[in-house]
Amino acid sequence: MRMRHLKSRWQKLLCRLVMGLSLIASASAGAAPDDNEEWLADVHQLIHGLMGDIGPATADVGPRPHYLVEDMDDGWLKKKLQSCANGPFYRTDFSIGHRGAAMQFPEHTVESYVAAAKMGAGIVECDVTFTKDRELVCRHSQCDLHTTTNILAIPELAAKCSQPFTPADPENGIPASAQCCTSDLTLEEFRQLKGKMDGANPMATTVEEYMAGTPGWRTDLYAQNGTLLTHAESIELFKELGVKFTPELKSPSVEMPFEGDYTQEDYARQMIADYWRAGVRARDVWPQSFNLQDVLYWVENTPAYGRQAVYLDGRYSDPEFDSEDPQTWEPSMQELKDRGVQIIAPPTWMLLKVNDNGKIVPSKYARRAKRAGLDIITWTLERSGPLANGGGWYYQTVSEAINNDGDVMTALHVLAKKVGVIGVFSDWPGTVTYYANCMDIR
């Protein structure tokens, strides 16, 4: 009886999704009605197949978290996490789908977003940028189409790229290159693309070789039909999946004002406008930006949505920055708080350090942020591949304490219980969902 009820409920939700997307598609500039109807039918069928009979609050974390737990060093934390192996697992806002579930699905696609929701991500990210005709779409960067889509395999669209494909010249040590931007295309042209796993082969001498650049620890098994979305379509999809929203306003790769009259403020306002037009409550949206001025614009001009605006802290790009030296932080944590910032989001390594006993503990950066009254979200777990050699960029301050894949759970525990983060981005949300459920974090 319960399964029949859930199936009926999801059928109703899917009908609502198609109706909502139909309204958006009918307003899309330059898109033929027949093309929109075919796309909507495909999305309807896709979500029905991927979500199956799983209810809106349950989660299927898959085998990876179990593998990570078994790979942990022996101790009480491993025993605690092992005790939760049989679940049940539920959706949690602590688990944030970074570009969806980008470890194994093409980022910012319907397939990736559905996978994240299925694994229990309570919040899912659409990185927002714009097309030539100023339509907002979900892409990690304005100029990453050459590595995240099949644009180079479509000659008439590849011809529009800012920089066409140039093969590698191994004899002179020159890598292959290309640059294709959303601002090179209209929305109608963008809709012709399919998402692929992010990557490129720098030694390629052909387009086919260049596109075959998926890192070995990822997979192309689920990358055959990556369905791209506009920002508005992602909102409707997330509503029907029952997840909340964390759009990131990506830094433009083109000069602003774009074409002389589309300003950064117009861009920031347009992103928020998509939510109030869709009737999304401000409390369900966490708008993000690395640009502090974007965050302050939302705080001052759209205060309902600005209350949960997230300042993505990219100050690590300054060679003088030191997460253990507050004198290198400008502005200070207290100054950010005084200007209206409520949530700060640094990469994981800025929140952690190794103490004299070889244990992972909160950094001074983490302690000062909490002292100033800032909430903290962090990024990104499950983006580093195997951790046997120290974990790479995301673990750079604690690499001496990282020597196996299970150490991701140890780092996550410190972030949750000692740093006190309110959410964690992950390329495989099931890992964070498993931990959060086991530790009763909702």
Same domain, 48 and 69: no
- Specify the pLDDT at position 46: 59
CA distances to 19, 186, 401, 435 from 390, rounded to whole Å, are 48, 43, 7, 21
Estimate the crossing angle of helix 231-241 against helix 110-118, to 10 degrees: 30
Please tell me the number of Cα atoms within 13 Å of 207 on its side-chain side: 13
Q: Which of 175, 192, 226 is the last residue of a domain?
A: 226
**Three-class DSSP category at 290:** coil
Cα–Cα separations (whole angstroms), residue 326 to 111, 319, 363, 415: 42, 14, 11, 20
Do residues 65 and 24 share a domain? no
Give how many domains the chain has, as a whole number: 3
Please give the structure tokens belonging to residue 337: 């708080």
Residue 366 in any domain: the answer is yes
Residues 432 and 328 in one domain: yes
**Coil, strand, or helix at residue 163?**
strand
Residues 6+ apart with CB under 8 A from 65: 430, 431, 433, 434, 435
Distance between CA 130 and CA 185 in Å, rounded?
Answer: 9
In this structure, is residue 132 part of a structural domain? Answer: no
Q: 185 and 333: one domain?
A: no
* 390 contacts: CB under 8 Å, gap ≥ 6: 399, 400, 402, 403
Coil, strand, or helix at residue 65? helix
Q: Based on the domain organization, do 361 and 429 belong to the same domain?
A: yes
Q: Is residue 183 part of a domain?
A: yes
Task: Determine the pLDDT at residue 12.
Answer: 44
63 & 111 share domain: yes
Q: Which residue stretches of the chain have pLDDT < 70?
A: 1-56
Strands (E) in 71-215, as ranges, are 92-97, 121-124, 127-130, 136-138, 163-166, 177-179, 194-195
User: Which two three-digit tokens encode residue 160?
Assistant: 């529009």
Give per-residue pLDDT as tens, 149-167: 999 999 999 999 999 999 9
Helix/strand number for the chain, H first, E second: 17, 17
pLDDT, tens only, 316-332: 999 999 999 999 999 99
pLDDT of residue 143: 98
